[in-house]
Structure 1
Amino acid sequence: MASDLDKQDFSHEIEHHDTIPADPEKSPIVESEDDGEITLKTKLAVLSLILMYESYLFTLVMPATILTYINADLGPDARYPWIAITWNLGAAIIVSVGGRLSDIAGRRWFLMFGAISAAVGALVGATGQSITQMIISGIIFGIGGGFQEMCFACAQELVPNKYRFQTLGIMILANHFSSFSPLIGYVFIAYTKIGWRACYWWCFAWEVVTAVMLYFFYHPPTFETKHRDDHKTKWQLIKEIDYVGLVLFTGGCLLLLLALNWGNGIHPWNSAWIVAPLVVACVCFIALGFWEVYAPLPYPILPPHLFREWRRFTAFLVVCFVAGMLYYSLNVIWPRQSGLLWVPADKPIIRGVYASMVSFGTIIAGWYCVSLMPWLKHEKWQLVGCIVIQTALIGSLSSVGLGDKAQAIGTVIAVSSVNLPPSPLSFGMVSLHLADQTDIGIGVGLISTFRLIGGAVATAIYTSIQTSEFGKLLPGQVSAAAESTGFSGSIESLLAAAKANTPVAYSVVEGITNSTIAAVQHAVLVSNSKSYRIVYLVAIAFGCVAIAAALSVKSIDTSQRSNEVAAKLETEKFESVAKGSDESIVG
């Protein structure tokens, strides 16, 4: 079967599809020649993409899990959180930019570059001798991760439309191994001589295997195939790239994410370091909107016709923004919350088990995505149901206290199990709603960008709320603890020791006793517990916004579940031509 790229004049489509978007439900369905059969070569290509997704997750989760150990070894350096933050900065920007450029120029070498970049990042981290070098490793990881997250678009375009949700389900299910990243990381720390560096060597090995698999098995349409009808050269495409839009989009995202992370304890929220980047980011996004709509662009970096389709596209951005707010922030908040409230600092393996609770929920989600999600269909109502349940469970987390450890563990696992499915549901629904399948890279890429930005926004908001509430609650709790134990020394000194909450800090407080130390340590726990309740109450409000957006999306029509394939592997096209030639000779 010829792909959409082969069937249509590409330049003609670019010229007209922003003004008259097609209705996919009324478009003729072109059946594939093999009646929806997925070949071995396609399966191997998808397997390569699955391995890439697994590698991508290891580079995301492992370094974030072991940050304190890296800082203890190479620091102390207050910049150490940026080892993980830079991953989000790079990936959030690159996934959409890379998706759009690969829509135009072909995907293979973008993905190869992503895997090789991540391997280099792992090598830099494994041999790191300073926090600065580890941050550079994180930047390289982020660049590679952005290209690697394109895997969801890449896999969908290779299989018949009717199998897109099954394919996405398999990809989600396959992340079982990476779901144990926190635990694996702590095992490396506890049982290997090189400690946390083993995590980076682990990531390096995965990325190398991924690059090899992609090289041998992933051969999507090339540049020449994509532009067979319009006969454009690479130099022509280079001149027609939307450089202004690229700079405005990249600059706006970068400044927004930097401001959000700088405001996370590095600079006050009302300082020029925060306000100026936010203002400039807003200006960039406003200018970007006008530029994309009114400039005569053959290849806009953000095709305006996508954003005009609220029910088929824009509403999904809202849904995935909120889903990302909880998914990525929970991976930061929960390990910290469980470590503060329930796990001793000298129990790294147990900390790893607690940190993996979010991952345990994603494992459950994987089984749901591969078994029930494609079978149930009615994707809109699956989307609504997951978000409604998620929002209700967040309410349960807001009631968790010091004595509610079992409730907290069970709820975190349950929240994670319903938080992940909205992403593959959105990936599949948006891809099937696209009037032009050549937009699949940017369409799915923007969903990933909004998920990642949502995570950065939520991490900044939730961490700021928790820190602020903790600061308000602690003085009263410490004063009560001092009074109950008859402490007669300086309350200010005791409060300073409570903020540090270390044996050394308590030892320098005059007149302190063991009973006072125990009471103050309990006060710290109570203050932390109550401060996290506020965080989850705020998250409920965002959940309600996502419910409203999910209710407005367009359902998938039966006619969209066809045998049509958006793109064929170059190796399969060659075999198809050869087979046709042989048959004509025999005839």
Structure 2
Amino acid sequence: MHDKEDVSYNEFGIETQDDNGTHLDRTATVDVDNYSGIHARTVLVYLSLNLILAGQLLNLVGSGALARDMAIAIGGSNNVIWLSTIIGIVTCVLGPPVSQAADYWGRKWFLVVFTIFGFIGCMIVSRATSMNVAIAGQVVGGLSFGCQPLQFAVASEILPRRWRPEAQAGLNVVAGIAAILGLLVGLKITATNPEGFRTYFYITAGCYGIAAIICALLYNPPLRPLQVSLSQREKLNQLDWVGYGLFASGTVVFIIALSWAQNPYLWSDVHVLAPLIIGGALLLVFVLYEWKVRSDGMIHHDLFKKDRNFAIALFSLFVEGTVYFAANSFFVVEVSVLYETNVFMAGVRFTITFITIAIAAALIALYCSANRKLRVPTTLAFVSFVIFHILMATATLSSGKAMWAYPVFLGIGLGVCLTTLVTAAQLSAPPALISISSGLLISVRSFGGSIGLAIYNSILNSQLSSKLGPNIAAAVVPLGLSPTDLPTFIGALASNNPALLMRIPGITPQIIGAGVVALKTSYLESFRYVWVAAAAMSVVAVISASFLINPTKDLNMHVDAPLEKEVE
């Protein structure tokens, strides 16, 4: 051990060397109590961060829950997956560079400008006349998610470390409330008219606009040291341009390949293989570059020096991303196809997830702050994910009532792990790297969501293509339906179009009933593979989360970036 006076620290709070020149690979624990009380300015800034997050959640929920209505209104049902996937890609790609740049140019205008992009994008979606225009609007609106890491970073650094669980939980509570309102309002206004999606995105645009104005007026933080000590050229040179390029291009190409697999191309088709290989190669080069060439890039090596918590949090949030995007995109669809004729009621079932998130986040924040322990609740959160996926995978056509309870397990997992993992990772990182650490966390979560969504969609499409036609044919052709009318019959059933069904020659209630049962059975069997894949990922995360280290000493009353200086 070294005496305190023998240790020096670099600009990131890393112990660098003692008097003998020995380099030390350990991050110092900051235990200086500089807390001077909560001021109105801090409260208002924290509230503005929550409002920005509310706009983002409204956008994300709408892109998943209203996708089918948008396809009915403007066409392009084969491309609806891109409405959610685009958000995941943009968040994943922009998170690290925006987070790193915010250390040199400050947080405020990145928050404001990217939130304005959210306003513009939602306005484009609300006026879309084709799916391509809607996707373009989501590309613009998705830019708002580029500042999401800053919201989690600023929320933590303006409050005492002891309160970080509460800071993160507060964001998750607001996210849950926004998701509930978005889901219920969105499904209600599209229940009788698919064109209602336009009103929904008008509302979302308004939320973005108000959030941008409030943040611009209220958030005026002191200049950061690197803002004033470096020239513009020096700041630009500090950014990891090679890493950004490799990661962005590799991610986009790789996800495109996964999204095209079984939709509409086979895995062996060049449209899938070529981008899969190229994207994979670019991501591999990115990893090697960040590992061997650039130690202070978007994957800053100092993030991993203190302990293993940051690495565990990265992997765990990758898994959590795959879980959330799968549930957000498929739960309402499965319930509406199998158990509910009213899509709004299917959405109401999913709101149970967000109600549980809010409750679980608030309770676990109080527990973690009081006991200074993160490992057990995080592990139990992923156990809850496993339970949810097992229940979904083993559901039957008579599980309609039970489906009201299943989202509770999903909500517990999401509410707990989002609070504990972000807290663990930020406390494991040097204080000056809290922004880039948050950027990596959100980026990896979105990367996991985009990868998982593409894989799950490929699994679902593959299973449906092999089961739907044969199962329905086997059920209705023996009852007298002509094989030549089978495609029309299947299309009418899948789109829930009674008028088209009644125009099919020789149609009878018996044929329709048999077809509906075969359709539901095919969907049930196909969704099962999606939930099994998600369960397998969650089991791995249970194991990794059990190795977290409880950051007992780090949960103190030190404030990393106070907005107000203590009055002398």
TM-score of the superposed pair, with normalisation by structure 1: 0.86
**Matched residue type, 1:287:** V
Alpha-carbon offset, residue 336 of structure 1? 0.7
What SS does the corresponding residue of 1:129 show, helix, strand or coil? coil
Alpha-carbon distance between aligned partners in 2 of 1:528 and 1:386, rounded to the nearest angstrom? 28
Counterparts of residues 100-139 of structure 1 (less than 5 Å): 100-139=100-139
CA contact (8 A) 2:350 2:407 kept: no
Alpha-carbon offset, residue 527 of structure 1? 1.7
More moved, 487-496 vs 513-522: 487-496
| Per-residue CA distance 1:147-199 (angstroms, 9 max, x = gap) | 13431112101111111111111221223133231111122335899722111
Change (3 A) 1:28 1:167: closer
Change (3 A) 1:184 1:221: same
**Matched residue type, 1:415:** L
Give the one of 322, 326, 339 matched to 2:319: 322
> Partner residue of 1:425?
420
Give the one of 300, 303, 323 matched to 2:300: 303
CA contact (8 A) 1:362 1:416 kept: yes
> Partner residue of 1:251?
249
Alpha-carbon distance between aligned partners in 1 of 2:284 and 2:532, rounded to the nearest angstrom? 32
**Matched residue type, 2:218:** F
Which segments of 5 or more consecutive residues in structure 1 lack a partner in the other structure?
1-6, 581-587
> How many residues are aligned here?
554
> Partner residue of 1:584?
none
Give the one of 474, 482, 491 matched to 2:476: 482
| Per-residue CA distance 1:349-399 (angstroms, 9 max, x = gap) | 334324434333323334434444433542111101111232123212221
| Per-residue CA distance 1:43-65 (angstroms, 9 max, x = gap) | 11111111111111111112332
Alpha-carbon distance between aligned partners in 2 of 1:11 and 1:232, rounded to the nearest angstrom? 16
What SS does the corresponding residue of 2:308 show, helix, strand or coil? helix
CA contact (8 A) 1:393 1:415 kept: yes
Give the one of 396, 400, 420 matched to 1:405: 400
Alpha-carbon distance between aligned partners in 2 of 1:114 and 1:8, rounded to the nearest angstrom? 34
Alpha-carbon offset, residue 138 of structure 1? 0.2
Change (3 A) 1:536 1:128: closer
Answering whether residue 462 of structure 2 is matched by residue 468 of structure 1, we say yes
What SS does the corresponding residue of 2:26 show, helix, strand or coil? coil
How much identity, in percent, do the aligned residues show? 21
> Partner residue of 1:198?
199
Answering whether residue 309 of structure 2 is matched by residue 312 of structure 1, we say yes
What SS does the corresponding residue of 1:195 show, helix, strand or coil? helix
Change (3 A) 1:310 1:478: farther
Answering whether residue 349 of structure 2 is matched by residue 363 of structure 1, we say no
CA contact (8 A) 1:323 1:420 kept: no
Change (3 A) 1:296 1:472: closer
Alpha-carbon offset, residue 498 of structure 1? 2.7
Alpha-carbon offset, residue 296 of structure 1? 6.0
Alpha-carbon distance between aligned partners in 2 of 1:459 and 1:193, rounded to the nearest angstrom? 24
Change (3 A) 1:513 1:429: same
> Partner residue of 2:26?
23
CA contact (8 A) 1:158 1:568 kept: yes
Change (3 A) 1:500 1:305: farther
Change (3 A) 1:506 1:380: same
CA contact (8 A) 2:258 2:454 kept: yes
**Cα RMSD (Å):** 2.9
Counterparts of residues 174-253 of structure 1 (less than 5 Å): 174-175=174-175, 176-190=177-191, 195-223=196-224, 225-227=225-227, 231-253=229-251
What SS does the corresponding residue of 1:405 show, helix, strand or coil? coil
| Per-residue CA distance 1:458-493 (angstroms, 9 max, x = gap) | 22222222333333333553355237xx52454464
> Partner residue of 1:540?
535
Alpha-carbon distance between aligned partners in 1 of 2:299 and 2:81, rounded to the nearest angstrom? 31
CA contact (8 A) 2:246 2:282 kept: yes
What SS does the corresponding residue of 2:79 show, helix, strand or coil? coil
Counterparts of residues 6-85 of structure 1 (less than 5 Å): 10=11, 22-24=25-27, 27=29, 29-32=31-34, 34=36, 37-76=37-76, 78-85=78-85
More moved, 414-423 vs 43-52: 414-423
TM-score of the superposed pair, with normalisation by structure 2: 0.89
Give the one of 439, 442, 446 matched to 1:448: 442
| Per-residue CA distance 1:9-43 (angstroms, 9 max, x = gap) | 639969999x956534x545222162xx2222111
Alpha-carbon distance between aligned partners in 2 of 1:475 and 1:70, rounded to the nearest angstrom? 25
More moved, 392-401 vs 79-88: 79-88
Answering whether residue 522 of structure 2 is matched by residue 531 of structure 1, we say no
What SS does the corresponding residue of 1:421 show, helix, strand or coil? helix
Answering whether residue 417 of structure 2 is matched by residue 416 of structure 1, we say no
> Partner residue of 1:342?
339
Give the one of 376, 381, 398 matched to 2:376: 381
Alpha-carbon distance between aligned partners in 1 of 2:315 and 2:42, rounded to the nearest angstrom? 32
Alpha-carbon distance between aligned partners in 1 of 2:312 and 2:44, rounded to the nearest angstrom? 34
> Partner residue of 1:497?
489
> Partner residue of 1:260?
258
Counterparts of residues 162-173 of structure 1 (less than 5 Å): 162-173=162-173
> Partner residue of 1:585?
none
CA contact (8 A) 1:168 1:428 kept: yes
CA contact (8 A) 1:174 1:366 kept: no
Alpha-carbon distance between aligned partners in 2 of 1:21 and 1:441, rounded to the nearest angstrom? 23
CA contact (8 A) 1:312 1:430 kept: yes
CA contact (8 A) 1:327 1:420 kept: no
Alpha-carbon offset, residue 289 of structure 1? 2.6
CA contact (8 A) 2:316 2:545 kept: yes
> Partner residue of 2:272?
274
More moved, 363-372 vs 123-132: 363-372
CA contact (8 A) 1:121 1:138 kept: yes
What SS does the corresponding residue of 1:560 show, helix, strand or coil? coil
Alpha-carbon distance between aligned partners in 2 of 1:473 and 1:335, rounded to the nearest angstrom? 21
> Partner residue of 1:4?
none
**Matched residue type, 1:325:** T
**Matched residue type, 1:465:** I
**Matched residue type, 1:159:** L
Alpha-carbon offset, residue 222 of structure 1? 2.6
CA contact (8 A) 1:165 1:424 kept: yes
CA contact (8 A) 2:165 2:420 kept: yes
Answering whether residue 553 of structure 2 is matched by residue 555 of structure 1, we say no
Alpha-carbon distance between aligned partners in 2 of 1:253 and 1:527, rounded to the nearest angstrom? 32
CA contact (8 A) 1:103 1:441 kept: yes
Change (3 A) 1:540 1:74: closer
